[in-house]
A and B are shown apart, each in its own frame.
Chain A
Amino acid sequence: MDSLIVSSSPHVYSKDTTVRIMRDVVLALLPAAAVAVYFFGVRAALIMAISVLSAVITEAVVQKLMKKPITVNDWSAAVTGLMLAFNLPPTVPLWLPVVGSIVAIALVKQAFGGLGHNFMNPALAARAILLAAWPVYMTTWAEPIHGIVNSAADAVSSATPLAILKGLEGTEAQLPPLWAIILGSTKGCLGETSDLALLLGAAYLLWRRVINWRIPFSFIGTVALLTWVLGPRGLFTGNAIYHIFSGGLILGAFFMATDYSSSPVTPKGQIIMGIGCGVITTIIRLYGGYPEGVTYSILLMNVATPLIDRFTMPRIYGEVRADV
């Protein structure tokens, strides 16, 4: 009886663990990954594999060099790798995901202290850097193919739905049908095209309570409201539905903006994060020089996160004197 464990309460713990959460995120991304392979061929699978592998290897190497415990089995590097791949067009050269993963893990994650300490979403930060360095590779889209037989999708230069919506190229008559956008048979980054697959994964994450509704719903809601109100032909003429399902909004709102390390932890802060992302996305989409605004909106709000947390501390129980 001399071996009783004496530790302080609580003596039971929830089954939730970091590994389980990360694994859930990977699981939630799988439907969209499968659709990417279906529409963009084996090359899509290759990009994702390379991206994940180089993220995991980078993490291990950096931790080894910094003489820190190697924690690649917590799955978080794999999540970052997969997220990065989701943000790349299917036509990128195969070395690009390697560079991206190294940037994401070494520069954005580990340099700031590793898991939980990075102030920006590593995958998105890497995307932004790749976009600045190799804009051509990062904006060359491929027409989706059907079936995985055709291994290398051909690069084409016609407009993406968002570019059309913005009036940059083509006319609204050229918009692909909404169902095509939702299913994912349109041009776009690997992971953003199939909203249906993404929503399936998002529902799973909500059900597993990995994420909560606050950031994604306030984000999407804000974009929907603003793009409808600020329509191209006067107030309330915007095509909100198209805006919701085009580009990276669904991916960004459910999977990127909800990134734990770089988003607020307070309930109010999370809603502010969502609304902020929505406002910035809309401004960039409607008035910026660039058709997509999701990435930059999230990165900008990431930077504001510590501030948001500080100013949205919940009012604690009993802080207001109850009137009796």
Chain B
Amino acid sequence: MGLKVLGFRGGVHPFHRKESTQDKAVERMQAPRLVYIPLQQHIGAPCEPLVKPGDRVKLGQKIGQPKGFVGAPIHASVSGVVKDIKQMPHPTMGQGIAIVLENDGKDELDESIVPRDIEALDVDELKGLIFEAGIVGMGGAAFPTHVKLSPPKDKKIDVVILNGAECEPYLTADHRLMLENPQDVVDGLKAIMKVLGVERGYIAIEDNKPDAIRTIAEATASMPGVEVVRLRTKYPQGAEKQLIYAVTGRQVPSGGLPMDVGVVVNNVGTAAAIARAIKTGIPLIERIVTVTGGGVAQPKNLSVRIGTLFKDVIDACGGLVGQPAKVVSGGPMMGIAQYTLEVPVIKGTSGILVLTKQEAETPDPGPCIRCGKCVDACPMRLMPLFISVYSLKGDYDNSEKLHAMDCIECGCCSYICPAKRPLVQSIRTAKRVITERKRRAAGAK
């Protein structure tokens, strides 16, 4: 850990609002009576249910099997009875099928659960274990981890980066994890490096978390090839491409993936989940969620069983203060607004934000004054004002020419715009239309 603080060009400095939870140790939330486990908690096709209503299930039992390679199994986060399999609200997809479990309160472990030793496992065993444990990216994107750890033969990976930036305002789940379970993070990194056969690992943390930097540095002191990297506190420092640039100086080519520049990035939470799945044998059935915002009575970092409804999580934090105006799954910059509190926590739920009317105010857009602030803020160096104008006019060809597809939807442009133009919102529309057109064009051939 040198004195150098690494960063990237562009970005913004939103208010952190991390004070209300950053000093609060993670509490384990008692499992609720009913959990609702969506069959889709990853990018890819939804799982097939392996149980039917009336079945008894044990804690950690596999209850959903993915259909393709890009997918991750899901497991029972409580022991009890399958009540129902039904359509219900989903935090990132609007709707989805979920398996409803009635908790018997016994937390009876499934027989398949056996602790292992990272050192004793070979690469294939490790990879298989990571797949079977249902590990997905826990920073929000929920990409199945075993896929990331299986790069094609022609892609030589030489660097693994653990993302501990946690640049989203309000969120402190990763921060607490690094402070309280540094060994899990480090062991997870060890496992990932072993699977990929990589000698160089970095754990990248924003410099507004000096305690986490210190803790992780101590935990990695004796590990050869592993380095803690201090990042400038700036949003979106944790975005994959910005992170890779800050740490390695490499640019992921437009339309490409991190592995194209020899890098694999995983969230610190994902690494810890890998380590725990190996060391305890228990698959990914629980995660840390930061519950915060002006609309919740006692903001907390809670360890929550997957499938717990937002409503129950908020109740475990002393309930609501007044009428919430907006509830967001994730952080305020990239999180998704919910229309109900009856949605379950899934593997990618990093935060539950309950915003008061004041906090949630959406300003009315005015005409673009051409201040150029969105251009300066865009970490991908796009021209948000022009892409957005084309998109709003329905001229998606020109949006595409201006590299709309390279937008990482970080929201910096919308955040900074003094005229409060719906920039990322309209660029997102353009991306959707362009992707749709490409798909149709490919189908027509």
Contacts and interface: CB of A to CB of B under 8 A. Distances in A.
B339 A322 contact: no
B369 A260 contact: yes
Nearest to B426: A8
Contact of B253 (A20, A74, A76, A321): A321
B252 A322 contact: yes
B371 A322 contact: no
A316 B380 contact: yes
A10 B415 contact: yes
Contact of B420 (A5, A17, A115, A267): A17
A4 B12 contact: no
B368 A316 contact: no
A18 B366 contact: yes
Contacts of A13: 362-363, 414-415, 420
Nearest to B169: A12
Given A6-B338, A317-B245, A324-B250, A265 B383 contact: yes
Interface stretch (B115-123, B213-221, B299-307, B323-331): B323-331
Contacts of A267: 375-376
B406 interface: yes
A314 interface: yes
Contacts of A320: 251, 253
A9 interface: yes
Interface in A274-324: 313-322, 324
A260 B379 contact: no
B380 A317 contact: yes
B332 A10 contact: yes
B336 A9 contact: yes
A160 interface: no
Interface in B370-412: 370-373, 375-376, 379-383, 385, 402-403, 406, 409, 411
A4 B420 contact: no
A265 B424 contact: no
Contacts of B355: 11
B317 interface: no
Nearest to B423: A10
Contact of A4 (B262, B327, B380, B409): B327
A114 B381 contact: no
A17 to B, nearest CB: 5
B151 interface: no
B109 to A, nearest CB: 36
A322 B261 contact: yes
Contacts of A8: 337, 422, 424-425, 428
Interface of B: 12, 14-15, 169, 241, 245, 250-256, 261-262, 323-328, 332-341, 353, 355, 359-360, 362-363, 366-373, 375-376, 379-383, 385, 402-403, 406, 409, 411, 414-420, 422, 424-425, 428
26 contacts: A4-B326, A4-B337, A4-B338, A4-B340, A8-B428, A9-B411, A10-B414, A11-B332, A12-B14, A13-B362, A14-B415, A17-B420, A18-B366, A18-B419, A116-B368, A116-B369, A117-B367, A265-B383, A314-B382, A316-B381, A316-B382, A317-B379, A317-B381, A320-B251, A324-B261, A324-B262
Interface of A: 1, 3-14, 16-18, 20-21, 71, 74, 76, 114-117, 212, 260-261, 263-267, 270, 313-322, 324
Given A17-B418, A315-B381, 7 more contacts: A17-B420, A115-B366, A314-B382, A316-B403, A317-B245, A317-B254, A317-B406
8 tightest A-B CB contacts, nearest first: A265-B372, A10-B411, A318-B254, A314-B381, A16-B418, A11-B332, A12-B332, A322-B251
